[in-house]
Structure 1
Protein backbone atom coordinates (compact mmCIF):
# COMPACT_ATOMS: atom_id res chain seq x y z
CA UNK A 1 0.00 0.00 0.00
CA UNK A 2 1.38 3.37 -0.95
CA UNK A 3 1.77 5.91 1.85
CA UNK A 4 -0.87 8.65 2.14
CA UNK A 5 -0.01 11.92 0.43
CA UNK A 6 1.88 14.39 2.58
CA UNK A 7 -0.26 17.24 3.89
CA UNK A 8 0.23 20.65 2.39
CA UNK A 9 2.72 22.82 4.29
CA UNK A 10 0.98 24.50 7.20
CA UNK A 11 2.23 27.91 6.06
CA UNK A 12 0.11 27.56 2.92
CA UNK A 13 -3.10 26.59 4.68
CA UNK A 14 -6.02 28.96 5.03
CA UNK A 15 -8.02 28.63 8.24
CA UNK A 16 -11.43 30.30 8.38
CA UNK A 17 -13.03 31.35 11.67
CA UNK A 18 -16.61 32.51 11.27
CA UNK A 19 -18.71 34.91 13.28
CA UNK A 20 -21.77 33.35 14.87
CA UNK A 21 -23.53 36.71 15.11
CA UNK A 22 -23.84 37.63 11.42
CA UNK A 23 -21.17 36.09 9.25
CA UNK A 24 -20.20 38.19 6.25
CA UNK A 25 -20.38 41.64 7.82
CA UNK A 26 -16.76 41.48 8.98
CA UNK A 27 -13.78 39.74 7.43
CA UNK A 28 -10.05 40.06 8.02
CA UNK A 29 -7.34 37.98 6.35
CA UNK A 30 -4.13 37.81 8.40
CA UNK A 31 -0.63 36.50 7.66
CA UNK A 32 2.28 35.78 9.98
CA UNK A 33 4.82 37.28 7.56
CA UNK A 34 5.02 40.74 5.94
CA UNK A 35 3.63 41.38 2.46
CA UNK A 36 0.95 38.69 2.71
CA UNK A 37 3.35 35.76 2.99
CA UNK A 38 3.46 32.76 5.32
CA UNK A 39 0.59 31.27 7.26
CA UNK A 40 -2.82 32.66 6.30
CA UNK A 41 -5.98 32.82 8.40
CA UNK A 42 -9.41 34.28 7.67
CA UNK A 43 -11.53 35.60 10.52
CA UNK A 44 -15.08 36.91 10.74
CA UNK A 45 -15.11 36.96 14.54
CA UNK A 46 -12.95 37.89 17.52
CA UNK A 47 -9.39 36.59 17.78
CA UNK A 48 -8.49 36.61 21.47
CA UNK A 49 -4.95 35.40 20.80
CA UNK A 50 -3.10 34.69 17.56
CA UNK A 51 -1.12 32.02 19.43
CA UNK A 52 -4.33 29.99 19.74
CA UNK A 53 -4.37 29.80 15.94
CA UNK A 54 -0.76 28.82 15.46
CA UNK A 55 1.08 32.09 14.90
CA UNK A 56 2.69 34.54 17.29
CA UNK A 57 1.59 37.83 15.74
CA UNK A 58 0.02 39.40 12.66
CA UNK A 59 2.64 40.86 10.33
CA UNK A 60 0.35 41.77 7.43
CA UNK A 61 -3.40 41.76 6.84
CA UNK A 62 -6.22 42.72 4.51
CA UNK A 63 -9.55 44.06 5.75
CA UNK A 64 -12.14 42.80 3.29
CA UNK A 65 -15.26 43.99 5.11
CA UNK A 66 -16.17 45.93 8.20
CA UNK A 67 -13.90 47.77 10.59
CA UNK A 68 -11.63 46.02 13.09
CA UNK A 69 -9.78 46.88 16.28
CA UNK A 70 -6.29 45.41 16.62
CA UNK A 71 -4.37 45.18 19.88
CA UNK A 72 -0.71 44.91 20.77
CA UNK A 73 -1.20 42.01 23.20
CA UNK A 74 -3.53 39.05 23.46
CA UNK A 75 -6.82 39.54 25.27
CA UNK A 76 -7.45 42.92 23.57
CA UNK A 77 -4.82 44.66 25.69
CA UNK A 78 -2.13 47.24 24.98
CA UNK A 79 -1.83 49.75 22.16
CA UNK A 80 -4.87 49.91 19.88
CA UNK A 81 -5.01 50.02 16.09
CA UNK A 82 -8.10 50.89 14.05
CA UNK A 83 -8.14 48.83 10.85
CA UNK A 84 -10.49 49.91 8.08
CA UNK A 85 -11.06 48.36 4.67
CA UNK A 86 -7.82 48.03 2.73
CA UNK A 87 -4.40 46.40 2.74
CA UNK A 88 -1.76 46.54 5.48
CA UNK A 89 1.40 44.92 4.03
CA UNK A 90 3.54 45.41 7.15
CA UNK A 91 3.26 46.59 10.75
CA UNK A 92 4.27 50.17 9.84
CA UNK A 93 1.03 50.44 7.84
CA UNK A 94 -1.10 50.27 10.99
CA UNK A 95 1.39 51.49 13.60
CA UNK A 96 3.22 54.32 11.86
CA UNK A 97 1.16 57.19 13.29
CA UNK A 98 1.29 55.99 16.89
CA UNK A 99 3.41 57.51 19.63
CA UNK A 100 5.74 54.53 19.47
CA UNK A 101 6.10 51.83 16.87
CA UNK A 102 4.58 48.48 17.76
CA UNK A 103 5.75 45.51 15.72
CA UNK A 104 3.12 43.08 16.97
CA UNK A 105 -0.64 42.66 16.87
CA UNK A 106 -1.72 39.63 18.87
CA UNK A 107 -5.51 40.03 19.10
CA UNK A 108 -8.28 41.73 17.15
CA UNK A 109 -12.06 42.00 16.96
CA UNK A 110 -14.77 43.59 14.81
CA UNK A 111 -15.96 47.12 15.59
CA UNK A 112 -19.61 46.22 15.40
CA UNK A 113 -21.15 49.65 16.08
CA UNK A 114 -19.21 51.65 13.47
CA UNK A 115 -21.64 53.85 11.52
CA UNK A 116 -19.77 56.59 9.69
CA UNK A 117 -22.91 58.35 8.49
CA UNK A 118 -24.60 58.52 11.89
CA UNK A 119 -22.04 59.11 14.60
CA UNK A 120 -22.32 61.48 17.53
CA UNK A 121 -20.32 62.09 20.69
CA UNK A 122 -20.07 64.55 23.54
CA UNK A 123 -16.76 65.43 25.16
CA UNK A 124 -16.25 66.92 28.59
CA UNK A 125 -13.37 68.85 30.11
CA UNK A 126 -13.43 66.88 33.37
CA UNK A 127 -14.08 63.33 34.51
CA UNK A 128 -17.62 62.08 35.12
CA UNK A 129 -19.10 64.38 32.46
CA UNK A 130 -18.28 67.57 34.33
CA UNK A 131 -17.02 70.96 33.19
CA UNK A 132 -17.05 72.46 29.73
CA UNK A 133 -18.56 70.24 27.05
CA UNK A 134 -18.76 69.99 23.28
CA UNK A 135 -20.45 67.84 20.66
CA UNK A 136 -19.19 66.30 17.42
CA UNK A 137 -20.96 64.60 14.52
CA UNK A 138 -18.06 64.90 12.06
CA UNK A 139 -14.31 64.32 11.97
CA UNK A 140 -12.16 66.89 13.76
CA UNK A 141 -8.46 66.93 12.77
CA UNK A 142 -7.65 69.54 15.44
CA UNK A 143 -9.61 70.23 18.60
CA UNK A 144 -7.46 73.32 19.40
CA UNK A 145 -8.31 74.80 15.99
CA UNK A 146 -11.98 74.16 16.72
CA UNK A 147 -11.69 76.20 19.90
CA UNK A 148 -11.38 73.50 22.54
CA UNK A 149 -9.35 75.37 25.13
CA UNK A 150 -7.61 72.41 26.75
CA UNK A 151 -5.14 69.85 25.39
CA UNK A 152 -6.97 67.15 27.35
CA UNK A 153 -10.44 65.63 27.58
CA UNK A 154 -11.75 64.28 30.87
CA UNK A 155 -14.63 62.08 29.71
CA UNK A 156 -16.66 61.07 26.66
CA UNK A 157 -20.27 60.13 26.03
CA UNK A 158 -20.55 58.16 22.76
CA UNK A 159 -24.15 58.53 21.63
CA UNK A 160 -23.80 56.63 18.35
CA UNK A 161 -21.15 55.04 16.17
CA UNK A 162 -17.50 54.39 16.94
CA UNK A 163 -14.77 57.01 17.21
CA UNK A 164 -10.98 56.99 17.34
CA UNK A 165 -9.35 59.71 19.42
CA UNK A 166 -5.71 60.64 18.87
CA UNK A 167 -3.19 62.25 21.15
CA UNK A 168 -2.08 64.97 18.70
CA UNK A 169 -3.66 66.98 15.86
CA UNK A 170 -3.79 65.23 12.50
CA UNK A 171 -4.69 61.87 14.06
CA UNK A 172 -1.16 61.24 15.37
CA UNK A 173 0.08 59.69 18.58
CA UNK A 174 -1.68 57.19 20.81
CA UNK A 175 -5.11 56.07 19.62
CA UNK A 176 -8.14 55.35 21.77
CA UNK A 177 -11.15 53.52 20.33
CA UNK A 178 -14.45 54.61 21.88
CA UNK A 179 -17.64 52.70 20.98
CA UNK A 180 -21.31 53.34 21.63
CA UNK A 181 -21.89 49.66 22.46
CA UNK A 182 -19.08 49.47 25.04
CA UNK A 183 -19.43 50.85 28.59
CA UNK A 184 -22.96 51.83 27.45
CA UNK A 185 -21.13 54.56 25.54
CA UNK A 186 -19.99 56.15 28.81
CA UNK A 187 -16.26 56.74 29.27
CA UNK A 188 -16.17 58.54 32.60
CA UNK A 189 -12.40 58.74 32.98
CA UNK A 190 -9.16 58.03 31.15
CA UNK A 191 -8.77 54.55 32.64
CA UNK A 192 -11.77 53.37 30.61
CA UNK A 193 -10.25 54.35 27.26
CA UNK A 194 -7.96 51.31 27.12
CA UNK A 195 -5.30 49.45 29.05
CA UNK A 196 -2.59 51.67 27.54
CA UNK A 197 -4.29 54.99 28.38
CA UNK A 198 -2.24 57.09 30.80
CA UNK A 199 -3.11 60.65 29.83
CA UNK A 200 -6.23 62.52 28.84
CA UNK A 201 -4.42 64.33 26.05
CA UNK A 202 -6.69 64.19 22.98
CA UNK A 203 -6.35 66.72 20.16
CA UNK A 204 -8.04 65.06 17.17
CA UNK A 205 -11.06 62.79 16.78
CA UNK A 206 -12.57 61.01 13.80
CA UNK A 207 -15.37 58.58 13.02
CA UNK A 208 -14.51 54.95 12.26
CA UNK A 209 -15.25 53.98 8.66
CA UNK A 210 -17.46 50.89 8.33
Structure 2
Protein backbone atom coordinates (compact mmCIF):
# COMPACT_ATOMS: atom_id res chain seq x y z
CA UNK A 1 0.00 0.00 0.00
CA UNK A 2 0.86 3.67 0.10
CA UNK A 3 3.47 4.79 2.61
CA UNK A 4 3.80 8.02 4.55
CA UNK A 5 6.59 9.59 6.59
CA UNK A 6 5.32 10.75 9.97
CA UNK A 7 7.82 13.04 11.65
CA UNK A 8 7.61 14.45 15.14
CA UNK A 9 4.28 16.21 15.61
CA UNK A 10 0.54 15.68 15.92
CA UNK A 11 -1.71 14.17 13.28
CA UNK A 12 -5.34 14.69 14.37
CA UNK A 13 -6.93 13.48 11.08
CA UNK A 14 -6.00 11.27 8.13
CA UNK A 15 -5.45 14.24 5.82
CA UNK A 16 -2.75 15.54 8.20
CA UNK A 17 -0.49 12.60 7.34
CA UNK A 18 -1.55 12.01 3.74
CA UNK A 19 -1.20 15.65 2.70
CA UNK A 20 -3.79 15.25 -0.01
CA UNK A 21 -7.41 14.33 -0.53
CA UNK A 22 -6.19 11.97 -3.26
CA UNK A 23 -5.03 9.54 -0.57
CA UNK A 24 -8.11 8.93 1.56
CA UNK A 25 -6.61 6.52 4.07
CA UNK A 26 -8.27 6.66 7.48
CA UNK A 27 -6.09 4.11 9.22
CA UNK A 28 -2.50 2.99 9.25
CA UNK A 29 -1.80 -0.73 9.28
CA UNK A 30 1.89 -0.99 10.11
CA UNK A 31 4.76 1.16 11.30
CA UNK A 32 8.54 1.00 11.34
CA UNK A 33 11.21 3.45 12.49
CA UNK A 34 13.39 5.17 9.92
CA UNK A 35 16.99 5.89 10.88
CA UNK A 36 17.94 9.40 9.86
CA UNK A 37 21.35 11.04 9.97
CA UNK A 38 22.71 14.39 10.97
CA UNK A 39 21.70 16.64 8.07
CA UNK A 40 25.30 17.75 7.57
CA UNK A 41 26.22 14.14 6.77
CA UNK A 42 23.24 13.17 4.58
CA UNK A 43 24.18 12.34 1.00
CA UNK A 44 22.49 10.68 -1.98
CA UNK A 45 23.61 10.23 -5.59
CA UNK A 46 20.96 10.00 -8.30
CA UNK A 47 21.67 8.41 -11.67
CA UNK A 48 19.98 8.96 -15.00
CA UNK A 49 19.66 5.24 -15.79
CA UNK A 50 19.34 1.89 -14.03
CA UNK A 51 22.44 0.17 -12.59
CA UNK A 52 24.16 3.49 -11.76
CA UNK A 53 24.71 4.42 -15.41
CA UNK A 54 24.50 7.80 -17.11
CA UNK A 55 24.52 11.30 -15.76
CA UNK A 56 24.82 11.50 -11.98
CA UNK A 57 24.24 14.15 -9.36
CA UNK A 58 25.30 14.12 -5.71
CA UNK A 59 22.75 15.70 -3.38
CA UNK A 60 23.19 16.71 0.25
CA UNK A 61 20.26 19.09 0.67
CA UNK A 62 16.48 19.19 0.17
CA UNK A 63 15.26 19.96 -3.35
CA UNK A 64 11.58 20.82 -3.90
CA UNK A 65 12.20 20.61 -7.66
CA UNK A 66 15.07 18.65 -9.18
CA UNK A 67 14.41 20.18 -12.59
CA UNK A 68 14.64 23.73 -11.22
CA UNK A 69 18.02 22.82 -9.73
CA UNK A 70 19.40 21.44 -13.00
CA UNK A 71 18.34 17.80 -13.32
CA UNK A 72 17.26 17.59 -16.96
CA UNK A 73 14.82 14.69 -16.61
CA UNK A 74 11.72 14.02 -14.51
CA UNK A 75 12.88 10.44 -13.94
CA UNK A 76 15.69 8.82 -11.97
CA UNK A 77 16.98 5.38 -12.96
CA UNK A 78 18.91 4.42 -9.82
CA UNK A 79 20.23 5.87 -6.57
CA UNK A 80 22.99 5.35 -4.02
CA UNK A 81 22.35 6.48 -0.45
CA UNK A 82 25.69 7.20 1.17
CA UNK A 83 24.29 8.50 4.45
CA UNK A 84 20.90 9.05 6.03
CA UNK A 85 17.33 8.46 4.97
CA UNK A 86 15.63 10.30 2.13
CA UNK A 87 12.08 10.71 0.86
CA UNK A 88 11.77 10.92 -2.90
CA UNK A 89 8.53 12.27 -4.35
CA UNK A 90 6.89 11.72 -7.70
CA UNK A 91 6.14 15.42 -8.28
CA UNK A 92 7.72 18.79 -7.45
CA UNK A 93 6.84 20.38 -4.13
CA UNK A 94 7.08 17.07 -2.24
CA UNK A 95 3.84 15.72 -3.74
CA UNK A 96 2.70 12.40 -5.16
CA UNK A 97 3.96 8.95 -4.31
CA UNK A 98 6.64 8.86 -1.61
CA UNK A 99 9.58 6.49 -1.62
CA UNK A 100 11.67 6.14 1.54
CA UNK A 101 15.27 5.24 0.72
CA UNK A 102 17.79 4.48 3.46
CA UNK A 103 21.52 3.85 3.65
CA UNK A 104 20.77 0.86 5.91
CA UNK A 105 18.63 -0.96 3.30
CA UNK A 106 20.05 -2.66 0.18
CA UNK A 107 23.44 -1.44 1.36
CA UNK A 108 22.20 1.98 0.24
CA UNK A 109 22.18 0.82 -3.40
CA UNK A 110 18.92 1.03 -5.34
CA UNK A 111 19.86 -0.25 -8.82
CA UNK A 112 16.36 -0.05 -10.27
CA UNK A 113 13.31 2.05 -9.49
CA UNK A 114 11.33 -1.10 -8.64
CA UNK A 115 13.58 -1.49 -5.57
CA UNK A 116 12.18 1.74 -4.09
CA UNK A 117 9.25 -0.19 -2.64
CA UNK A 118 6.54 -2.67 -3.50
CA UNK A 119 4.22 0.20 -4.42
CA UNK A 120 6.68 1.79 -6.91
CA UNK A 121 4.77 2.46 -10.12
CA UNK A 122 7.16 4.72 -12.00
CA UNK A 123 10.72 6.03 -12.08
CA UNK A 124 9.39 9.57 -11.93
CA UNK A 125 11.14 11.52 -9.14
CA UNK A 126 10.88 15.30 -9.11
CA UNK A 127 11.61 16.31 -5.51
CA UNK A 128 13.81 14.91 -2.74
CA UNK A 129 14.25 15.73 0.94
CA UNK A 130 16.09 14.38 3.95
CA UNK A 131 14.13 12.66 6.71
CA UNK A 132 14.02 14.97 9.71
CA UNK A 133 15.61 13.83 12.95
TM range (shorter): over 0.9
Q: Which of residues 117, 122, 127 is equivalent to 1:199?
A: 122
Q: 5 Å matches for 1:157-176?
A: 157-176=80-99
Q: How many pairs are equivalent?
A: 133
Q: Which residue does the alignment assign to 1:208? A: 131
What TM-score comes out, normalization by structure 2 length? 0.94
> 1:115 and 1:99, CA in 2 relative to 1: closer, same or farther beyond 3 A?
farther
Which protein is bigger by CA-based radius of gyration? 1
| Distance in structure 2 (CA, Å) of the matches to 1:173 and 1:147 | 21
In the alignment, what sits opposite 1:91? 14
CA apart distance, 1:99: 5.5
Does 1 or 2 have the higher relative contact order (CA < 8 Å, sep 6+)?
2
TM-score by length of 1: 0.61
The CA RMSD over aligned residues, in Å, is 1.4
Write the distance in 1 (CA, Å) between the matches of 2:60 and 2:44: 7
Distance 1:129 1:99 in 2: 33
Question: What is the rounded CA distance, in whole Å, between the counterparts of 1:108 and 1:158 in structure 2?
Answer: 22
Deviations 1:58-83 (A, max 9, x none): xxxxxxxxxxxxxxxxxxxx211111
- Higher share in strand: 1
